[in-house]
């Protein structure tokens, strides 16, 4: 149980600045994901939290206690590594007991062969073995306790690593891409197991991943990191619907968000020859970018089912279809705006809407309908324009 507070963390390796002032609060019992593409500094941040790296500047607090200068073992954190990092020549039981041995036994009693020379510690040893047994049962690996890591499958090793982290009752649970070495099917399974573990233990989790699906499905909040700065920290749904910048919008969501460059005019936003029915009162001549999620777009064409009339203003564009990905339950259509062929578009549609069309055969020329209520608008530097101020301006214009 712990609240983690990072303030203004800086870290450089040589001349490369990896972290450029990270401030972050993780609430007690929260599951926070650190997401970002590789090299964004997320693993370094996790290592700084664990104490394996020291920040150049900034402070780390756990439950209000300063941890910045403390060694990893003094912080009461547990960490699970991408490659599991099990001790290769020790059995599963020995692996899992190691953090307990290190925390409870004095140095002389940890030396090899001291088991027989320190009989007064036997009850303590038995108690630790009992704890290992209990955690092993919880993770369903109690039948593997006498095996060595080399004799285990990837999923089993992952569970042993989780067990080794759990057994010491950590205040903070750190995970560094723990699922990326598992195959796709097992990954989904362990994903739910970790979520269950979080719920059952009530511990604070900090979870590093480059996989947005993991971040979106598992976490209470997601912290999106890019080039050493935090772009946005928000619950997954907020991050998806209200991205604060183009980078966030592009990173979250698959297929990627559609981005249309437009220019503000007194009567609306101009996209090529089309005028978007959005009068937000932007200064005429301003270049803006309109973001539309692929699943917000609808298609119509002769031979397809009629669309229900949209609520609110809707943009209609002619589109040239380039390719179709059939994912079974849904299809993804790739194409371009007819008037602006270099603007790629992605449309996601439920397959049932295709009214019994099993083999997808869409005509090349389609009509695209985009409800403007779902649009997010960014300035030319990629910063989200405050929805409130946009609404206010719209009102003022009306």
Give me the residues that bind other proteins (CB under 8 A), please: 47, 50-52, 71-73, 77-79, 81-83, 85-89, 98-99, 102-103, 110, 164, 168
Please report the DSSP string for 86-139 in residue order.
--TTS-HHHHHHHHHHHHHS-HHHHSTTTTTT-GGGHHHHHHHHHHHHHHHHHT
Min separation Cβ 168 and other proteins, Å: 8
Cβ of residue 14: shortest distance to other proteins, in angstroms?
Answer: 10
Select 78 or 317, whichever has its Cβ closest to other proteins.
Answer: 78
Minimum distance, C-beta of residue 7 to other proteins, in the bound complex (Å): 23
Distance CA 207, CA 186 (A): 18
- The residue among 82 and 286 lying less far from other proteins, judged by its C-beta, is 82
- Are 393 and 281 in contact by the 8 Å Cβ rule? The answer is yes
86 or 179: whose CB is closer to other proteins?
86
Smallest distance from other proteins to CB 102, Å: 3
Minimum CB–partner distance for residue 26 and other proteins (Å): 18
> Smaller CB distance to other proteins: residue 135 or 269?
135
Cβ atoms within 10 Å of 305's Cβ, excluding its own:
11
| Spatial separation of the C-alpha atoms in residues 171 and 78, rounded to whole Å | 8
In the complex with other proteins, which residue's Cβ is closer, 2 or 248?
2
In the complex, least distance from residue 315 CB atom to other proteins, rounded to whole angstroms: 50
114: alpha, beta or left? (left if phi > 0; alpha if psi -120 to 50): alpha
Give me the phi and psi of 250, to 5 degrees please: -75, -35
Least gap, CB of 275 to other proteins (angstroms): 56
Residue 167 or 257 having the CB closest to other proteins: 167
Residue from 17, 10, 41, 39 nearest 223 by CA: 41
Say if residues 78 and 172 touch (Cβ distance below 8 Å). yes
Which is nearer to other proteins, 124 or 343 (by Cβ)?
Answer: 124
Strand order in the sheet with 330-337: 298-300, 365-371, 314-326, 330-337, 344-350
> CA torsion 232→234→237→242, rounded to 10°?
-50
Please give the Cα distance from 42 to 50 (Å, whole number): 13
């Amino acid at each position: 149980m712990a609240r983690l507070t990072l303030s203004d963390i800086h870290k450089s390796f040589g001349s490369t600045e990896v972290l450029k002032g990270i401030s972050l609060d993780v609430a007690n019992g929260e599951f926070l994901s650190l997401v970002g593409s590789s090299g964004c500094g997320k693993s370094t941040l996790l290592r700084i939290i664990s104490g394996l790296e020291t920040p150049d500047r900034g402070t780390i607090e756990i439950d209000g206690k300063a941890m910045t200068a403390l060694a990893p073992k003094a912080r009461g954190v547990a960490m699970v590594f991408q490659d599991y990092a099990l001790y290769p020549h020790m059995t599963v039981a020995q692996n899992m007991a190691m953090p307990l041995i290190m925390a409870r036994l004095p140095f002389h009693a940890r030396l090899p062969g001291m088991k027989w020379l320190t009989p007064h510690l036997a009850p303590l040893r038995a108690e630790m073995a009992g704890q290992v047994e209990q955690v092993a049962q919880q993770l369903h690996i109690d039948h593997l306790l006498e095996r060595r890591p080399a004799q285990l499958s990837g999923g089993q090793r992952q569970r042993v690593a989780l067990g080794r982290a759990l057994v010491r009752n950590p205040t903070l649970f750190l995970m560094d891409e723990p699922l990326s070495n598992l195959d796709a099917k097992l990954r989904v399974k362990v994903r739910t197991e970790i979520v269950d573990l979080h719920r059952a233990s009530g511990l604070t989790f900090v979870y590093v991943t480059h996989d947005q699906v993991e971040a979106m499905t598992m976490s209470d909040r997601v912290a999106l990191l890019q080039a050493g700065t935090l772009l946005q920290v928000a619950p997954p749904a907020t991050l998806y619907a209200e991205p604060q910048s183009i980078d966030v919008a592009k990173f979250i969501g698959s297929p990627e968000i559609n981005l249309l460059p437009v220019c503000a005019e007194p009567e609306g936003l101009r996209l090529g020859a089309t005028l978007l029915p959005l009068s937000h009162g932007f200064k005429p001549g301003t270049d803006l970018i309109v973001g539309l999620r692929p699943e917000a777009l609808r298609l119509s064409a002769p031979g397809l089912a009629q669309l229900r009339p949209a609520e609110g203003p809707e943009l209609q564009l002619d589109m040239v279809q380039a390719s179709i990905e059939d994912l079974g339950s849904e299809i993804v259509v790739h194409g371009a705006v007819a008037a602006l062929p270099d603007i790629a578009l992605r449309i996601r549609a439920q397959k049932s809407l295709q009214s019994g069309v099993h083999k997808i055969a869409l005509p090349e020329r389609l009509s695209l309908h985009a409800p403007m209520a779902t649009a997010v608008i960014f300035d030319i530097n990629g910063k989200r324009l405050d929805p409130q101020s946009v609404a206010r301006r719209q009102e003022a214009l009306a």
